[in-house]
């Protein structure tokens, strides 16, 4: 056999799959504690001591292989299409009965399985003893006790996996007895399927018959399309008819459903194995564990919500207070570089490009990396401890009111419900929602949350105008984002997305101490994503925007006019028409310098207005003045469609081009805005609102289109959100002005 | 011994599931999570707004909405003792 082979890693959510995957492959992966985080396919390489190269595919966490959501379909399609040599089925030893349900389905499929009995240390502490040899013998597959966290047993696991892979046996499906009615139906259907080679390339006839009886929608649909392609319509009709007949019979005789009988018998099979002395409990099974005791407080009626609020508020304090120092370092670093280049580079478009386009653009964005890092570290703690699942549990009743699902909270949180997420993975996380309507409502409203890219924009405005209560205002803005997202979701569920609610059946994973490694991987991964985005998309956008703000340049006549004005002022002062052309080389009294600076500012502003961006921005000014936005802000907002953090770099570029260069060391955009008489608190607040709620960035829109399956929804979210944000910002700005809160 | 619906169980009360009266997606998800006839469950608690409910099942904790718990019939030792 070759030195390289492919295996799959499968198991229930929260079985410790991701932890094992990271341990085996050393991949930099996200380790969560929330059901359903691993939706995408992850691969990694494990190099065995014997020199084999094992390609491990991390399948999404599922409870079964019958289609319920996309995850089951993904997992099962992978097994059927890619035929991995071995499936490592990771099962929680302290929760074995339920975890063996999935195992049962691997056995029925026939794929070679090795069971990794995880958290064997936890089970031992709970007084649960498992006879692994006996279990292995009865299931007919190897069972290896491991602890993915500590690494105990992992080498042995991989040795056995390699052994099974080398044996390379054919798939051997296990037959579980489902009682007379079902078994007879299976036999009959199986015969017909085999005779007509129905979907025979992919599925064994017995397995296919069983899935039909389980009423698996995806399989039924696949059967229909196969039948249509191959002229076997009568086979598909027969199968569906047979299932209907069996269903009717079971309903009449036992008041139950075929799928219920199947599940009951699978659990019966598991129980019959476990009962034969495989598992012994030393303590009372109902004993309260630490996790349950914690839940008694953390999800209690009064303290639960209070603690939840306190936890979220604490996260903000952590994020904003502790990141201040490194933010300062980065700001001064970029300020120093900028000042250095200002002194040593020759005047001209290149200098302008480097300082105004590159350094201001990237510097403005990178300065916020520490905030994002602290924020993600905090989120990682909440996620990895298992607290986020409790948030979903406590929030469900509220969410249902708005026509959403408790799981919507995950998409919201990832999108920035705890400020600092990203709508791109948030929109993708809605895949775990089964009902198309709740899912659509969630993915259309998740971009309202304060994602990591809006965060620097909000932080900038807060820092410039509301610096006395940063954390409080940031917290209020988060609550506002939630309120708007929920209300809009309800509005959508009552209008374009009307329909019935979907089930909420979820697991509350036990509380766990996060591992430092897990937290570090999580934080680094998210921060790196941000940096990478900043370095590529943002740098590109920043340069593009610099170009649109620089070209076309002022016509020669106008340039000469400004030159003439300067000359006149200088000449007036020196009393001679032969004064130096460059006023910078002569020492002037302050009042003259100010006069020259004013001319220069006028020139720069004129130049920007003349540029492509200025034309677009001032074109929009006719409408945007209603919300208090001038053309500079408009340019920045247009740029923000590329990515929200571009708003900052654009404002930075706009101000360093359009204003007199700020004194050395005072290069912070925040200070520039705060000192600008054109800005006021109400204007800043109006902009904050608009930035929070207007069109999602281009990348998010693309994801919405992909997830919703139609450009219509991408266009909808752009148009709807922008209109909504504009109306809101205008309302607040006009009201603020009417109340005399500043122009 | 009495048969009641899961929704009506008190916090801390235990019982054995006797029937799951629902098919389709919800029925399948409920069953694959271990809620099948013969399974013993215990009410671990309820969310602050009394809904959803958290159950102790096979060594793990599951949550269900009340209107989903309405499909699950449970045999309890003594309804008054809850």
A643 band by pLDDT with thresholds 50, 70 and 90: confident
Highest mean pLDDT among A56-65, A301-310, A483-492: A483-492
Measured CA angle at A522 (ends A521, A523), to 5 deg:
95
A731, pLDDT greater than 70: yes
The answer to whether A295 and B44 are in contact (CB under 8 A) is yes
Residue B33 forms part of a structural domain: yes
For residue A31, the model assigns a pLDDT of: 38
The CATH number that domain A4-167 falls under is 3.40.50.300
Q: ipTM, 2 decimals?
A: 0.93
Measured CA angle at A391 (ends B8, A447), to 5 deg:
125
Mean pLDDT value across residues A536-551:
72
- A94 interfaces chain B, CB cutoff of 8 Å: yes
For residue B81, the model assigns a pLDDT of: 47
Residue B81 forms part of a structural domain: no
DSSP A220-249: HHHHHHHHHHHT-HHHHHHHHHHHHHHHHH
Alpha helix segments (H runs only) across A197-348: 205-213, 217-230, 233-254, 258-274, 290-298, 303-322, 324-344
User: What value does the mean pLDDT of chain B take?
Assistant: 88
Pairing of strands A53-58, A128-130: unpaired
Question: Of the candidates B42, B48, B57, which has its C-beta nearest A301's C-beta?
Answer: B48
Distance CA A490, CA A473 (A): 26
Domain boundaries, chain A: 4-167, 180-281
Q: Pick the more confident residue, A586 or A23.
A: A23
Q: How many CB pairs under 8 A join A and B?
A: 137
Residues of chain B with a CB closer than 8 angstroms to some CB in chain A? 14, 20, 23-34, 36-39, 42, 44-45, 47-52, 54, 56-65, 68
Q: Pick the more confident residue, A330 or A32.
A: A330
- Domain coverage including residue B58: 2-76
CATH number at residue B25: 2.30.30.90
A469, pLDDT greater than 80: yes
Q: Which residues contact A474 (CB under 8 A, 6 or more apart)?
A: A316, A320, A419, A458, A459, A462
The answer to whether A60 and A38 are in contact (CB under 8 A) is yes
A272 burial (CB, 10 Å; 0-12 / 13-18 / 19+) is exposed
Residue B37 forms part of a structural domain: yes
Distance CA A343, CA A353 (A): 15
Distance CA A443, CA A441 (A): 6
Residues of A in contact with B14 (CB under 8 A): 286
The A residues from 56 to 75 touching B (CB cutoff 8 Å) are 63-64, 66, 68
The A residues from 515 to 574 touching B (CB cutoff 8 Å) are none
pLDDT in tens, A349-408: 788 888 877 887 677 667 667 866 887 787 778 878 888 788 888 888 888 899 998 778
A655, pLDDT greater than 90: no
For residue A180, the model assigns a pLDDT of: 92
Q: How many CA atoms lie within 13 A of A539 on its CB side?
A: 14
User: What value does the mean pLDDT of chain A take?
Assistant: 83
The answer to whether A668 and A656 are in contact (CB under 8 A) is no
Distance CA A368, CA A333 (A): 13
- A394 interfaces chain B, CB cutoff of 8 Å: yes
DSSP A443-454: HHHGGGS-BTTH
**A180-281 fold:** Helix Hairpins (1.10.287)
The answer to whether A591 and A699 are in contact (CB under 8 A) is no
A424 band by pLDDT with thresholds 50, 70 and 90: confident
Q: Pick the more confident residue, A301 or A727.
A: A727
Q: How far is A302 from chain B (nearest CA, A)?
A: 7
The answer to whether A151 and A238 are in contact (CB under 8 A) is no
- Nearest CA among A323, A270, A332, A239 for reference residue A101: A270
DSSP A622-674: HHHGGGT--HHHHHHHHHHTT-TTHHHHHHHHHHHHHSPPPPTT---HHHHHH
Distance of CA A435 to the CA centre of its chain: 19
The answer to whether B54 and A299 are in contact (CB under 8 A) is yes
Q: How far is B34 from chain A (nearest CA, A)?
A: 6
Buried b (16+ CB within 10 A) or exposed e, A19-34: bbbbbbbebebbbbbb
Mean pLDDT value across residues A433-451:
87
Yes or no, beta carbons of A397 and B50 under 8 Å apart: yes
Tally the domains of chain B: 1
Q: How far is A407 from chain B (nearest CA, A)?
A: 12
DSSP secondary-structure letter at A110?
T
- Nearest CA among A391, A450, A443, A394 for reference residue A417: A450
A285 band by pLDDT with thresholds 50, 70 and 90: low
Three-state secondary structure call for residue B72: strand
- Give bridge partners of residue A43 from the DSSP assignment: A57
- A500 interfaces chain B, CB cutoff of 8 Å: no
For residue A534, the model assigns a pLDDT of: 56
Q: Kindly state the helix (H) or strand (E) to which residue A373 belongs, with its residue range.
A: helix A369-385
A501 band by pLDDT with thresholds 50, 70 and 90: confident
Distance CA A368, CA A538 (A): 14
A661, pLDDT greater than 60: no
Residues of B in contact with A299 (CB under 8 A): 45, 47-48, 54
Distance CA A672, CA A661 (A): 10
For chain A, percent of residues with pLDDT exceeding 90: 34
Distance CA A68, CA A209 (A): 18
For residue A449, the model assigns a pLDDT of: 94
For residue A535, the model assigns a pLDDT of: 60
């Amino acid at each position: 056999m070759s030195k390289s082979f492919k295996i799959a890693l499968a198991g229930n959510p929260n079985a410790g799959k991701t932890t094992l995957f990271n341990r085996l492959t050393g991949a930099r992966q996200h380790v969560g504690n929330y059901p359903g985080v691993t939706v995408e396919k992850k691969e990694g390489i494990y190099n065995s001591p014997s020199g084999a190269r094992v390609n491990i595919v991390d399948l999404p966490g599922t409870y079964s292989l019958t289609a319920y959501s996309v995850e089951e379909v993904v997992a099962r399609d992978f097994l059927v299409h890619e035929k991995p040599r071995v499936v490592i089925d990771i099962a929680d030893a302290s929760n074995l009965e339920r975890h063996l349900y999935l195992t049962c389905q691997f056995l029925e499929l026939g794929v070679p399985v090795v069971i990794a009995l995880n958290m064997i240390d936890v089970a031992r502490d709970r007084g649960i003893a498992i006879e692994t040899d006996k279990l292995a013998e009865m299931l007919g597959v190897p069972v290896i006790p491991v602890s993915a966290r500590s690494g105990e047993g992992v080498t042995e696991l991989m040795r056995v996996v390699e052994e099974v892979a080398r044996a390379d046996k054919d798939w051997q499906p296990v037959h579980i007895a489902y009682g007379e009615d079902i078994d007879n139906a299976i036999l009959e259907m199986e015969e017909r399927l085999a005779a007509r080679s129905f979907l025979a390339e992919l599925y064994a006839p017995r397995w296919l018959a069983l899935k039909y009886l389980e009423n698996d929608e995806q399989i039924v649909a696949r059967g229909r399309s196969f039948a249509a392609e191959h002229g076997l319509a009568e086979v598909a009709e027969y199968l569906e008819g047979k299932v209907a007949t069996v269903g009717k019979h079971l309903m009449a005789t036992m008041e139950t459903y075929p799928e219920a009988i199947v599940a009951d018998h699978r659990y019966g099979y598991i129980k019959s194995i476990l009962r034969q002395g495989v598992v012994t409990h030393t303590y009372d099974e109902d004993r309260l564990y630490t996790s349950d005791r914690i839940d008694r407080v953390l999800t209690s009626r009064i303290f639960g919500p209070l603690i939840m609020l306190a936890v979220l508020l604490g996260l903000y304090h952590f994020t904003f207070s502790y990141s201040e120092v490194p933010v300062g370092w980065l700001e001064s670093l970029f300020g120093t570089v900028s000042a250095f280049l200002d002194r040593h580079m020759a005047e001209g478009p290149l200098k302008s490009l480097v300082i105004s386009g590159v350094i201001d653009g990237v510097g403005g964005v990178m300065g916020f990396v520490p905030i994002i890092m602290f924020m993600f570290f905090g989120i990682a703690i909440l996620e990895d401890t298992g607290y986020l699942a409790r948030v979903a549990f406590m929030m469900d009743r509220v969410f249902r009111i708005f026509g959403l699902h408790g799981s919507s909270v995950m998409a919201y949180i990832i999108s920035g419900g705890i400020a600092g997420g990203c709508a791109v993975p948030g929109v993708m996380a809605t895949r775990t929602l089964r009902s198309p309507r709740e899912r659509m409502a969630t993915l259309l409203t998740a971009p309202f949350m304060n994602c990591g890219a809006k965060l620097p924009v909000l932080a900038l405005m807060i820092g410039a105008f509301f610096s006395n209560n940063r954390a409080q205002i940031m917290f209020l803005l988060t609550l506002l984002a939630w309120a708007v997202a929920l209300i809009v979701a309800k509005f959508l569920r009552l209008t374009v997305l009307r329909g019935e609610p979907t089930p909420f059946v979820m697991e509350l994973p036990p509380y766990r101490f996060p591992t430092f490694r897990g937290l570090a991987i999580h934080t680094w991964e998210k921060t790196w994503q941000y940096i990478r985005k900043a370095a590529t998309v943002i740098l590109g956008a920043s340069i593009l925007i610099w170009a649109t703000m620089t070209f076309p340049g002022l016509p020669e006549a106008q340039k000469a006019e400004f030159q003439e004005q300067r000359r006149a002022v200088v000449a007036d002062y020196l009393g001679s028409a032969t004064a130096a052309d460059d006023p910078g080389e002569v020492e002037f009294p302050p009042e003259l310098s100010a006069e020259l600076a004013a001319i220069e500012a006028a020139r720069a502003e004129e130049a920007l207005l003349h540029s492509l961006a200025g034309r677009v921005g001032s074109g929009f000014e006719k409408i945007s003045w209603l919300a208090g936005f001038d053309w500079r802000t408009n340019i920045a907002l247009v740029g923000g469609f590329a990515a929200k953090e571009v708003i900052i770099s654009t404002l930075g570029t706009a101000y360093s081009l359009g204003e007199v260069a700020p004194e050395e060391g005072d290069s912070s955009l925040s200070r520039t805005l705060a000192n600008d008489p054109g800005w006021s608190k109400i204007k800043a607040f109006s902009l904050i609102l608009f930035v929070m709620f207007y069109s999602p960035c281009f990348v998010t829109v693309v994801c919405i289109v992909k997830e919703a399956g139609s450009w219509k929804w991408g266009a909808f979210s752009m148009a709807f959100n922008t209109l909504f944000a504009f109306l809101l910002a205008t309302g607040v700005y006009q009201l603020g002005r009417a109340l005399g809160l500043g122009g | 011994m009495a048969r009641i619906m899961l929704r009506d169980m008190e916090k801390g009360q235990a019982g054995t599931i006797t029937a799951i009266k629902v098919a389709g997606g919800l029925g399948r998800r409920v069953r694959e999570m271990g809620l099948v006839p013969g399974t013993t469950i215990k009410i671990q608690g309820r969310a602050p707004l009394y809904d959803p409910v958290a159950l102790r099942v096979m060594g793990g904790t599951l949550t269900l909405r009340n209107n989903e718990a309405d499909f699950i019939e449970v045999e309890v030792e003594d309804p008054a003792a809850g």
